[in-house]
Amino acid sequence: MTSVSKMSLAVSTVLSKYASFTGRASRPEFWWWVLAVFLLMIVTQIIDALIIAPLLGVPASGENASQVLSFFVALAVLLPNIAVGARRLHDTGRTAWWLLLAFIPLLGFLVLLWFYTRPSEPENQWGPPNPLY
C-alpha cells in the first residue's frame, strides 16, 4: 500500500467519523490525518496569499493579511480533529477528557503529543484495536 493510499484511507476514515467520539483510532490513522490537515493548511494559506488577498485588495502578509480560505478550512476540520484526537486517546486507554490538557500552554501540548505516540492497547473499554492497515 502506497503512502498516498494510506493517507487517503486515513482521511476518508476520519471524515466518515466526522463527529464520532466513540471507538478507537490507530496511530497510523491519526498521524496520516494530521499530515493531511497540515498539508491542506499550507495549500490554503498559499491560495489565500496568492489569489484571495489580491482579489480583496489586502496585503498577502502582515497583521492585516487576509486568510479567509484558511479560516474556513480550519473551522471545517476542527470537529474531526477533536474527534480523532479523542479516539486516539481511547486507543491508548485514556478518556477523551485528557484533551483538556490542550488548554495548558506548551506543557499540555507536549503531554498530549506523548499520549498520541503511545502504542495501541489490546482490547479495552472502547473495544478491540482498530488497525487501519
Residue of 88, 75, 1, 2 lying closest to 37 (CA atoms): 75
Q: Is position 31 within any domain? A: yes
What is the percent of the chain where pLDDT is above 90? 69
Domain span at residue 67? 3-117
Q: Residue 54 — very low, low, confident or very high, per pLDDT cuts 50/70/90? A: confident
Q: Is position 27 within any domain? A: yes
Q: Is position 122 within any domain? A: no
**Ramachandran angles phi, psi of 24, nearest 5°:** -135, 155
- Helix %, strand %, coil % of the chain (to 5): 65, 0, 35
**Would you state the pLDDT for residue 112?**
97
User: Mean of the pLDDT values across residues 107-112?
Assistant: 96
Q: Is position 128 within any domain? A: no
Number of domains forming the structure of the chain: 1
pTM for the model stands at: 0.90
Q: Does pLDDT of 57 surpass 90?
A: no
Q: Is position 37 within any domain? A: yes
Residue of 128, 95, 119 lying closest to 28 (CA atoms): 119
